[in-house]
Amino acid sequence: MTRHSLILRTAATAIMPLMLLFSVFIFLAGHQEPGGGFIAALVAAGGFATYALAYGVPAARRLLRVDPIRLMAVGLLLAFAAGLIGLLAGRPFMTGLWIMSIHQGTPVLFDLGVFVTVLGVVVSAIFTLAEEPS
């Protein structure tokens, strides 16, 4: 069993929630502009990577609580659903539609799909590379 630094564990415990919170901020601030969901997912994945370095991949997998492959599938379905809504409304696929009362629309759903997909891909790659060979 590998011993991990006490300083790294302490820092990871403090940094992880901050990175996730910052990820939510980036998502909400940039969802109407290019890159909001993508960049937010990279920041969130960085938090999980930090935690995996400090506590090991099994602990980070338990913290994530969802298999990264399932995250990828759910994210792709959300992004597809965002495009399908425009098609069901009689418009071309991927047409943005807004709910005027709350000033949100299908671009937010698409960005959420991008966020979940990118988080699943990056976390899966990080966990796979960081796991100790058996």
The model carries a pTM of 0.86
User: pLDDT (tens digit, 9 = 90+) per residue, 61-87?
Assistant: 999 999 999 999 999 999 999 888 877
Token digits for 80? 């597809």
Looking at residue 132, the DSSP 8-state letter turns out to be P
**Would you say how long the chain is, in residues?**
134
List all residues 6 or more positions away from 52 whose beta carbon is below 8 Å from its beta carbon. 59, 60, 126, 127, 130
Q: Give residue limits of the domains in the chain.
A: 6-130
Please tell me the distance from the alpha carbon of residue 112 to that of residue 27, in angstroms, as a whole number. Answer: 8
Please tell me the distance from the alpha carbon of residue 119 to that of residue 96, in angstroms, as a whole number. Answer: 23
pLDDT greater than 80 at residue 43: yes
Cβ pair 77, 69 in contact under 8 A: no
Mean pLDDT of 109-127: 94
